[in-house]
């Protein structure tokens, strides 16, 4: 179920640095200490995404990893996106 604008805003305020990108996406860039750590983080995100059956868009730029989330089959942001964002934030701590 697509979140209302108010629900999205509340979730964004509770998030750790995630930003609204347009009306249908949230994004965050993680700054990892090394390129290998960035790749390890991406691999962990991939494993989590596969378990959740909710796959992000990922961009790798040296030590920076940008993740974008939206629930495409719903046509916008759902609770799945914010739950995934939280899981990725927790996972990133292992690689910082």
Domain range enclosing 44: 5-95
C-alpha 91/C-alpha 45 separation (Å) is 8
pLDDT digits (tens, 9 = 90+) for 11-21: 999 999 999 99
First to last CA, the chain: 34
pLDDT digits (tens, 9 = 90+) for 25-43: 999 999 999 999 999 999 9
pLDDT digits (tens, 9 = 90+) for 33-90: 999 999 999 999 999 999 999 999 999 999 999 999 999 999 999 999 999 999 999 9
Q: How big, in percent rounded to 5, are the helix, strand and coil portions of the chain?
A: 45, 25, 30
Q: Are the beta carbons of 37 and 76 closer than 8 angstroms?
A: no
Question: For position 27, what pLDDT does the model report?
Answer: 98
**Domains of the chain: total:** 1
Name residues whose C-beta falls within 8 Å of residue 17's C-beta, 6 or more positions apart in sequence.
28, 89
């Amino acid at each position: 179920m697509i979140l209302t604008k108010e629900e999205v805003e509340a979730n964004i305020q509770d998030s750790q640095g995630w930003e609204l990108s347009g009306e249908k996406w949230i994004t965050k860039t993680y700054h990892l200490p090394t390129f290998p750590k960035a790749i390890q983080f991406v691999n962990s995100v991939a494993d989590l995404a596969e378990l959740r059956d909710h796959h992000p868009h990922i961009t790798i730029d040296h030590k920076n990893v940008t993740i974008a989330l939206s629930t495409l089959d719903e046509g916008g942001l759902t609770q799945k996106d914010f739950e995934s964002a939280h899981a990725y934030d927790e996972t990133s701590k292992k690689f910082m």
